Amino acid sequence: MDLIKEHWKKEDIEKFQNYILSFSKGEEKGLWEQRIINTKLPCIAVPSPIIKKITNEISKGNFLEFLDLWIWENFSNTSINGGLICKIKDFDLMMKYLTKYSNKIDNWASCDLLKFNINEKNKVQFFDLSQNLIKSEKPFVRRLGVIILFKFIDDENYIEKIFNTLNSFENEKEYYVNMASAWLFAECFTKQRDKTINFLSSHKLNKFTINKGIQKCRDSFRVSKEDKEMLLKYKK
């Protein structure tokens, strides 16, 4: 199927759906994928490299018209939509599609697959976006806000702001938000060790997040044996 189109029409949807279904690894694999992702959407188990290739091909044409079709019948569709949204260079235009996308997603993978091109020109906009997302009532929108912060860990100007954001989840109850926060904490420790140790002296992380974050550090080959032992004193 030709995926590099000048125009996408509603008549193309059925043909496109049959095309991606031709790459499916089967119903059993799809059910396994659905359990792992924990989504209500059907899963057709199309391998990630193929999804990426299809997304890249569509992006060479008028991919905004493809997005406007808003094909959402299965998780593979979601992955393609998310990948295309990340290719929109204009921040305000990207936000138009991301807002619709983020309010519809129902699983962790749909958050984590978004790979934004964050650079010096748009860094402030993306950080502000993160802060707005974490205020959402929807758990996967909040998780997306946390995921964006991974791009800021190496920046000395933002590390303390990341710690402040982590503290704001003191009373968080949602598993997938807490897991993202624990993962973010562990990455901060591996990349900003000294500052993260200072953060530990007065942090407000809830019991699940701090204990899971420490566990992730202790499981990491990037953390020394001495630090793994030291971190145990901070467990709740």
Each domain of the chain, given as residue ranges in start order, spans: 1-117, 120-236
Residue 193: name the closest of 224, 158, 167 by CA.
224
Q: Does domain 120-236 have CATH number 1.25.10.90?
A: yes
Distance between CA 67 and CA 82 in Å, rounded? 9
Task: Band the pLDDT of 183: cuts 50, 70, 90.
Answer: very high
19-56 pLDDT, tens digit per residue, is 999 999 999 999 999 999 999 999 999 999 999 999 99
How do residues 122-138 score in pLDDT, each as one tens digit? 999 999 999 999 999 99
Of 176, 152, 173, give the one whose Cα is nearest residue 164: 152
Average pLDDT over residues 164-174: 96
Whose CA is closest to 69, among 14, 120, 114? 14
- Confidence tier at 234 by pLDDT (50, 70, 90): very high
> What pLDDT score does 158 carry?
97
- Neighbour count for residue 202 (Cβ, 10 Å): 8
What does the pLDDT average to over 86-90? Answer: 96
3-state helix, strand, coil in the chain (%, to 5): 65, 0, 35
At residue 55, the pLDDT reads 98
Average of per-residue pLDDT across 202-229: 96
Q: To the nearest whole percent, how much of the chain has pLDDT over 70?
A: 100
Mean pLDDT estimate for the chain: 96
Counting residues of the chain whose pLDDT is more than 90, the rounded percentage is 100
Confidence of residue 214 (pLDDT cuts 50, 70, 90): very high
**214-218 contacts, C-beta under 8 A, 24 or more apart:** 215/182, 216/182, 216/183, 216/185, 216/186, 217/186, 217/189, 217/190
- The average pLDDT across 102-125 equals 95
